[in-house]
Amino acid sequence: MATFVLVPGAWHGAWCYKRVTPLLRQAGHEVYPLTLTGLADRSHLCDDSVNLSTHIDDVVNLLQWEELSDVILVGHSYAGVVLGGVAEKAADRLGALVFLDAFMPAAGQSMIDISPREVPDTGTLPPYTAAGMKVNEADQAWVDAMVTPQPVHTYTEPLDAADAYLTVARKVYVRTTFPSAGWQAAYEQYSADPAWETHLVDCGHDLMIDKPAELAQILLGVA
């Protein structure tokens, strides 16, 4: 039995994995879909104290208090940076890292450095539309109703260090066909690196919504 911790990207919550979670559990694995502080079912906690460190601690504390080890830690999009921070604090609890169309951690960089956009000094960032993220048409209204504003300091706080994730035994990068120069460059880099396993899924950016069965099969292959 494997243990999965599923971390959503910006504006999303644990709800985005609701189609993948039962597929992994039906295969006999433990699954912990996580909502980061200030988002979705934890949106009542959204204020200017929430930053990248908060989200890293959300995951580290789950690993600690649920007494989890040899975890397959999965992160979508923005959560790639969160995974990098988690590895700095809890690499000994991780058996594999799975990056889903994810931004890759770089020491001293914030999300604004990696993915530039105009941001306010305080408050939140409004979500992109589901159509803009190429979510399938049938689910666009649902996704637009479910996403919540992102605490701005999760995007502006830089990551202190970012190389411990490279020490995790198994590293997987899953790319979608959503157009993005940054994610494509990461996919091509890791496809050429024998230390990484890579997959390509033909769908929009929210692959856990568009292709849950295909994503579950990839994750089961990591278990």
Q: For the segment 6-63, what is each residue's pLDDT rounded down to a tens digit?
A: 999 999 999 999 999 999 999 999 999 999 999 999 999 999 999 999 999 999 999 9
The whole-number average pLDDT for the span 145-149 is 98
Q: How far apart are CA 80 and CA 122, in angstroms?
A: 23
Distance CA 193, CA 203 (A): 24
Q: Which domains does the chain have, with CATH numbers?
A: 3-222 (3.40.50.1820)
Mean pLDDT of 207-211: 98
Q: Which of 205, 215, 183 is nearest to 133 (CA)?
A: 205
β-strands 170-176, 196-201 pairing: parallel
How far apart, in whole angstroms, are the C-alpha atoms of residue 13 and residue 135? 16
Question: What's the confidence (pLDDT) of residue 204?
Answer: 98
For residue 161, what pLDDT is reported?
84
As a whole number of angstroms, the distance between CA 127 and CA 148 comes to 7
Q: Give the pLDDT score at 179.
A: 97
How high is the pLDDT of residue 162?
81
Q: State the maximum Cα–Cα separation within the chain, in Å, rounded to a whole number.
A: 45
Q: Say which of 49, 69, 77, 115 is annotated catalytic.
A: 77
Q: What is the pLDDT of residue 105?
A: 86
Write out pLDDT tens, residues 151-207.
Answer: 999 999 999 988 999 999 999 999 999 999 999 999 999 999 999 999 999 999 999
* CA 190 distance to own-chain centroid: 17
DSSP 8-state assignment for residue 77:
T
pTM: 0.98
Query: Among this protein's residues, is 69 annotated catalytic?
Result: no
Q: Quote the CA–CA distance of 186 and 34 in Å, as a whole number.
A: 25
Helix spans in 91-149 (H): 111-114, 140-146
Q: Report the distance separating Cα 86 and Cα 57, nearest Å.
A: 8
